[in-house]
Amino acid sequence: MEKSRLADRFRACDKAFILVVTRKNKRCGVHGLPFRIGSLIFATPSMKVYRNPDQFPPFKNAVITIGTFDGVHEGHRKIISHMQEAARSIDGETVIITFHPHPRKVVSSAILGIRLINTLDEKIELLEQAGIDHLVIVPFTQAFANQSAEDYIANFLVKNFHPHTIIIGYDHRFGRDRLGDYRLLEKMADSYNYSLREIPKHVLAEIDISSTNIREAIVHDDIETANQLLGYEFFFEGLVVDGDKLGRKLGYPTANLRITDEEKITPGNGIYAVSVSLQAEKLFEPSYRGMMSIGLRPTVNGKSRVIEVNLFDFDKDIYGQTLRVYVKKYLRPELRFETLEDLVVQIGKDKEQTLQIFSSPS
């Protein structure tokens, strides 16, 4: 079936998405989640998202866990898999409870240090792809943080979710002054008729280490490590804004991107192989290949950090549109060249290397 006809069918369908892949003997999927290439796949996005307790349905044998799930990386997916297994055994539903804004912004003064792997919308998207039934986004306020640990259990967890099973880490803290813990949940389990399962210490340690390592890898050019730990290619979105159009003069027109979420982490300075999707096209997979430059542009004595993407074989006007950039591989550091001609020669080498990366087996 022609790509255009498939796109039309996709846009006409509000309950299914279609993933079409054509290369053979490879695996890919939405953000790198595994699907078999060479097939046509229909899936039903079924995760329900709630931001207000008044919206909550009567959950069926709810298996719940609580956390930030920043990155929704391989470590998080172990917990999700454990939840799903538990839910299947009791014909129940999986429920993840997360918070927005990040609790540290409310209870800590060190808010400037927050750099998140995912925006909230990205997290929602990734958790849906992971197959979670319900996602509850709790508005995290000072009043919420100040409720007693006992009230948190009785008036928040039990009243709203009537959980069959709570899966939580041994070091989870909640309530005023963070006095609530696993032992309190265990103590109150019989009174409120829920089962309690502990996330093993080594899994929690792996999650914390992975999240830290992912952030460090992203900002220090080690994008391959970040992608391996994430289980998908790190991505971010930016609005295409006016630049000085130097790239066009050099024969490599670029889209200058402005990151709109101040908490979103971005890669360190350097040159990267990337693939890109346009938000306006509403496709799940990246449609275009290219290379990205992040930095001060020392060859032209730049003064501010700029994110620029050059898309191969692309000539559309996309000013004012949002691009999603999937970062595939780090190519080289940002360099200062003596002349613009030298810069153009290096850009040509960067493009050749990028094309080789995309053409080589994964």
Distances (CA, A) of 217 to 30, 118, 223, 292, 330: 22, 15, 6, 17, 11
User: Per DSSP, what are the bridge partners of residue 239?
Assistant: 258, 322
Residue 20 neighbours by CB under 8 Å, 6+ apart: 3, 6, 40
What are the strands, taking DSSP E only, across 68-194?
93-100, 134-139, 165-169
Q: How far apart are CA 105 and CA 108, in angstroms?
A: 6
Determine phi and psi for 125, rounding to 5 degrees: -60, -45
Q: Buried b / exposed e across 200-227, counting CB within 10 Å, b at 16+?
A: eeebbebbeebbebbbebbeebbbeebb
- DSSP structure class, residue 116: B
- DSSP structure class, residue 360: S
The structure tokens listed for 5 are 């006809």
Exactly one of 93, 125, 233, 308 is catalytic; which is it?
A: 308
Instruction: Name residue, tokens 């899966």.
Output: 167
The structure tokens listed for 177 are 């002054």
Q: Give yes or no: 334 in active site.
A: no
Nearest to 115 by CA among 294, 262, 307, 225: 262
Helix (H, G, I), strand (E, B) or coil at 292: strand
Nearest to 337 by CA among 226, 250, 268: 250
List residues with catalytic annotation: 308
